[in-house]
Each structure stands twice: as structure tokens, then as C-alpha cells.
Structure 1
Amino acid sequence: MNNKRLFNLKRPHQFFGLGFGTGLAPIAPGTFGTLAALPFIFITMHYPLWLQIVFAVVISVFGIWACGKTADDLGVHDHPAIVWDEVAGYYITMIGTALSWQTLLVGFLLFRFFDIVKPGPIRVLDKRAHGGFGIMIDDVLAGIFSLICLQALIKVGLLPF
């Protein structure tokens, strides 16, 4: 069956699961989906750290539902167009970070690296977890790994702030 006929951005879970439509990009949908996190990052990064963490938890838990339901609609577990997990992962990467083009770029590159390469526990979770949780958990973990690396680069002075 042609999955393109199953995409329907008028359905709320698909609108979010497909990253506001960015997951429908003909090439590199995960990369475009990652960029869909930018409005959330710009809006919330001046909030207290605890509120950024709460927001990350909320968008991640919400993503379990949205991604799982979208995957059910498409009949494909973790279809490439499902990118809300990338939105959550990149958002997590940027928690507590002072924004500059350097931190945004390095955070983006770190997150894409961990999301694509899936080292160690990320790969294990990606293979073992299923449903909406399975779609989300590897990107959440990639976001946490990226957050740690980004903060380390900042602390040792390799990035401004």
C-alpha cells in the first residue's frame, strides 16, 4: 500500500508525529524533523532549567502517543516520516544551553550523530523497544548523550558560553 495516501496532517497525531509536516521532506526527513525543534528551543531556553526539563518530558511522553498512533496509521514501525522523536531529541540536547549559532550547530551535529550511529545502549533500545515508546526512546537517549557532550564542550571552553 502507498504510505503517501495514509499521510493526513489534519489528524492531530499525524501533524505532530510527522513534525508539522517536516517528516514528509523527500530527502533526509530526520534532519528536517530535527529542525522542527527550533521554535520550541527559541521559546523556552530562557525559562528556568527545571521548566525546560518538564517541557522535555512532556513532549517526549506526548511523542509516545503521537508517534505510536501515526505508526499504526501507516502500518510501519518507525516510518522515516515520523520525526517527533527527533524534535524531542534535539530539544533535550539543547536543555540549559545558552543559545548561539555555535551551540545550535554543534548540538544539532551531535544529536544527528548519536541518532544515526546509535552507539551502545541507544542501538540496544532501538532494537528491543516497540510501539511509540520504541520510536521515542532511542532519540531521547541520543538527546541525553548529545546534551552531555555539548555541555562538556562548553565547560572545557571549546564553545562560547
Structure 2
Amino acid sequence: MNKVPASVWRNPIHFLAFGLGSGAAPWAPGTFGTLAAVIPYFWFQQLSTPWYLLMLVVTTLIGIWLCDRTSTDIGVHDHGGIVWDEFVGFWLTMFMAPAGWEWIAVGFILFRIFDIIKPWPIKWADQKVSGGLGIMLDDILAGIYALIILQLIAYFWI
């Protein structure tokens, strides 16, 4: 695990990239980052479908820049504490999810599984795509996998 740079607490760009500081957790920063992403999700889940999609596009584009800038500034590509990508990946997982804590928990677990296991092409993207896009892409793909499984569970469960 890489040491958390002091700039996380002084630089607003780094603070955002580190998931409002959640990525500074001493262990499992990706899990803590995903947990922190649940808080804004409570507000986002109230958005209409077009507004939610717009939020995903905007937070993805901002994330590519935030992650690239922070990674460059601290000199570590995809530092474990950079968790803005987990935020967006979780929000993508939860797109059009049914309401309720149980669905948030299922989405959280599914996203973490795909983000950790990294089945193809997630692992390929993680290893081959560089810069801010590379940092974001594997979590976007994990979010898409988790979204599909979550929607299938909801379809057959409800």
C-alpha cells in the first residue's frame, strides 16, 4: 500500500480524488471509498433517469481529470487511495436500482466483487490503459458488470 500523501488534506483536487478523504483509510481504501459513495447516492437516487445519466457522464469526465491530475502530482499511477473511480463505479452500479437498503447492499457487494476480482476485460483495462482514463475505466467496467447482475436480480426477484 502506498503512503497517503499529505496533499490529500491540503489540495482540493487530491481530496476529491481520494473520495473526500475516504481513500486515506489505512486498509481497504477501495471498500471505504465505495462506502463513502453511498452517502451522495441517497441524493442521486432521487434524480430522474436523464439527470442521473448526466450526473454519471459529468462525474466520469471530472473523475478522469481528477484521477489523472492527482496521479501525476503524487507520482503514483492509480494510487490505492485514489477512489473517485470507486464512487463513479458504484453510482453506475446503482443506475435504475430499486429503492431500499437491501439493494444498496447488493449493489455495494456486487461492485466490490467485480472491482476486486477483475474479470476480463476489467483486468485488461486495469493493466493496459494509462492515465486518468485507465484509473477510471476498470471501475466503470466493474460498475457495468455489477449493474447488469443487479438488474437481473431485481428483475427475477421483484
**TM-score per shorter chain, which class?**
over 0.9
Contact in 1 for aligned 2:122/2:141 (Cα 8 Å): yes
Q: Secondary structure at the match of 2:86?
A: helix
Q: Which moved more, 1:67-76 or 1:148-157?
A: 67-76
Cα distance change of structure 1 residues 154 and 130 upon mapping to structure 2, 3 Å threshold = same
In the alignment, what sits opposite 2:151?
A: 151
**Mind listing any 5+ residue stretches in structure 1 that lack a counterpart?**
none
Contact in 2 for aligned 1:23/1:30 (Cα 8 Å): yes
**Shift, 1:5, TM fit:** 4.3
Name the count of aligned residue pairs: 157
Give the letter aligned to residue 109 of structure 1: I
Cα distance change of structure 1 residues 4 and 153 upon mapping to structure 2, 3 Å threshold = closer
Contact in 2 for aligned 1:68/1:133 (Cα 8 Å): yes
Question: Where has structure 1 moved over 4 Å in runs of 4 or more?
Answer: none
In the alignment, what sits opposite 2:136?
A: 136
In the alignment, what sits opposite 2:63?
A: 63
**Shift, 1:98, TM fit:** 2.2
Distance in 1, matches of 2:65 and 2:3, equals 20
The normalised TM-score by structure 1 is 0.92
In the alignment, what sits opposite 2:43?
A: 43
Give the letter aligned to residue 103 of structure 2: T
- Aligned 1:1-80 pairs, distance under 5 A: 3-80=3-80
The normalised TM-score by structure 2 is 0.94
Give the CA RMSD over aligned residues.
Answer: 1.4
Give the letter aligned to residue 146 of structure 1: A
- Identity in percent: 45
Q: Is 1:92 aligned with 2:92?
A: yes
